[in-house]
Chain A
Amino acid sequence: MLRVEVDMFSGRPNPTWILTDATQTEEILGAVRESRGALAKPRTGFGGLGYREVLVSALGDDQRARGVPREFAIGSTAAEDVRLSVDLARRVIETMPLRSDVRLVEHATTPLTARLRETILEELERFLRDLPKWWPPPPPPPPNPLRTTVHDVRCENCAYEVSQFNPAFWNTASVQPHNNCYNYARNWRTNTFAQPGRAHGAQTGTMSCNAVTTAAMADGLVKRCTCLPDSEYPRRLMALVIWPNVDYHWYREQRGNFWGHKPGSTAARSYDNNGALVVNPETAARGGYINFCGYFYAGRSVVIN
Chain B
Amino acid sequence: MNRTPLRVELDVFSGRPNPAWQLDDDAAAHVRDAIASLDRAESDRPLPAPGLGYRGFRVTDQTESSFTVFDGVVRTSELSLADPDRRIERLLFANVPPEFADLAQSLAPEVGPADD
Residues of A within 8 A of B17 (CB): 193
- Most chain-B CB neighbours within 10 Å: which of A249, A262, A263, A286? A263
Q: Could you tell me the distance between the alpha carbons of A274 and B12 in the complex, rounded to whole angstroms? A: 17
Q: Is the CB of A247 within 8 A of B15?
A: yes
Task: Write the nearest CB–CB distance from B8 to chain A, whole angstroms.
Answer: 15
**In the bound complex, how far is the Cα of B17 from the Cα of A195, in angstroms?**
9
User: Which of B25-33, B35-43, B51-59, B84-92 interfaces with chain A?
Assistant: B51-59
Identify which of B14, B48, B49, B55 contacts A247 (C-beta below 8 A).
B14
Contact partners of A285 in chain B: CB under 8 A: 51
Q: Does chain B have a CB within 8 A of A160?
A: no
A287 CA to B11 CA in the complex, in Å?
14
Instruction: Specify the main secondary structure of chain B where it touches its partner.
Output: loop
Asked if residues B51 and A181 are in contact (CB atoms below 8 Å), the reply is: no
- Is B14 a contact partner of A181 (Cβ separation < 8 A)? yes
Complex: how many Å from CA A285 to CA B17? 22
Contacts A269-B49, A273-B53 given; indicate if A264 touches B18 (C-beta within 8 A). yes
Interface residue tally of chain A, by bracket?
A: 20 to 34
CA distance A173 to B87 in the complex (A): 29
A273–B51 contact, CB under 8 A? yes
Which residue from chain A places its CB closest to the CB of B9 in the assembled complex? A265
CA distance A246 to B11 in the complex (A): 13
Known A246-B103, A264-B11; contact A195-B16, beta-carbon cutoff 8 A = yes
Complex Cα gap A56–B30 (Å)? 89
With A and B bound together, what is the CA distance between A269 and B53 in angstroms? 15
B52 contacts A273, C-beta separation under 8 Å: yes
Q: How far, in angstroms, from A285 to B52 measured CA to CA in the complex? A: 9
Q: Is A289 an interface residue (CB 8 A)?
A: yes
Q: Say how far A298's CB is from chain B's closest CB, in angstroms.
A: 15
Please name all residues of chain A whose beta carbon is closer than 8 Å to the beta carbon of B53 when the two chains form the complex: 243, 273, 287-289
B76 to chain A, nearest CB (A): 16
A242's nearest neighbour on chain B, judged by CB, is B15
A266 touching B16, Cβ below 8 Å = no
With A264-B11, A265-B11 in contact, do A247 and B16 touch (Cβ < 8 Å)?
yes
Closest Cβ of chain A to B11, distance in Å, is: 7
A249 touches B15 (CB 8 A): yes
Q: Which 5 A-B pairs have the closest CB atoms?
A: A287-B53, A287-B52, A249-B14, A273-B51, A248-B15
Q: Which residues of B contact A (CB under 8 A)?
A: 11-18, 48-53, 55, 103
Chain A contact residues, CB within 8 Å of chain B: 180-182, 193, 195-196, 207, 212, 243, 246-250, 261-267, 269, 271-273, 275, 285-289
**22 A-B pairs, CB-CB below 8 angstroms?**
A180-B14, A181-B15, A182-B15, A193-B17, A195-B16, A247-B12, A250-B15, A262-B14, A263-B14, A264-B11, A264-B12, A264-B55, A265-B18, A266-B11, A266-B55, A267-B49, A269-B49, A269-B51, A272-B52, A273-B52, A287-B53, A289-B14
